[in-house]
Amino acid sequence: MNTAVNNTKNILLSKGITPTFQRIVIYEFLDQNRIHPNVDTIFAMMTKQIPTISRTTIYNTLNLFMEKNLVSGLSLNGNEMNFDINTHPHHHFYCTICKKITDIEITCPIGKNKLKNPSNHLIQEVHGYFKGICKDCLSAPSLDK
């Protein structure tokens, strides 16, 4: 008996999601690889484990996970969604050179304190992200900055 899979099954069931094989594998990939992958990356990785999986199932699953607040969607570069398993509140950093998305821990969290909301809008989600050049790309000697 696989404990990790059973744990995932319980998480999905607790959210009212039928724990199909595909959904379990996608969930575990997101949980164990915190790289904010896009659909293409998820599809490529899933194909290794489930050769017959389709992009439609990836999209179906991610949209379902978003509805059920299991994952959140990041829209950072205007042309694709990136996916993140919801845990504690944090922001993101997008490197314009290597395109990697990394987590930024929040010291002064947007929306968490001292943020006046003079607009009377109902705020349901708070998103903060930065763009720039990550430290790895900064230290790469061959790069023009």
4 interface partner picked from a copy of itself, DNA, none, CB below 5 to 8 A per type: none
**Burial track 21-42 (b if 16+ CB lie within 10 A, e otherwise):** ebbbbbbebbbeeeebbbeebb
Binding site for a copy of itself (CB under 8 A): 73, 75-78, 80-81, 91, 93, 95-96, 102, 104-105, 107-108, 110-111, 113-135, 138, 145
60 interface partner picked from a copy of itself, DNA, none, CB below 5 to 8 A per type: DNA
Residue 4, φ and ψ in degrees, nearest 5: -60, -45
CB closer to a copy of itself out of 4 and 138: 138
Cα-Cα-Cα-Cα dihedral sign, residues 136, 141, 142, 145: positive
Side-chain half-sphere CA neighbours of 100 within 13 A = 11
How far is the C-alpha of 52 from the C-alpha of 39, rounded, in Å? 16
- Least distance to a copy of itself from the beta carbon of 9, Å? 29
Q: Taking CB under 7 A as the criterion, which residues in 43-102 touch DNA?
A: 50, 52-57, 59-61, 63, 78-81
- Least distance to DNA from the beta carbon of 56, Å? 4
Cα-Cα-Cα-Cα dihedral sign, residues 66, 25, 45, 98: positive
Q: Which residues bind DNA (CB under 7 A)?
A: 17-23, 38-40, 50, 52-57, 59-61, 63, 78-81
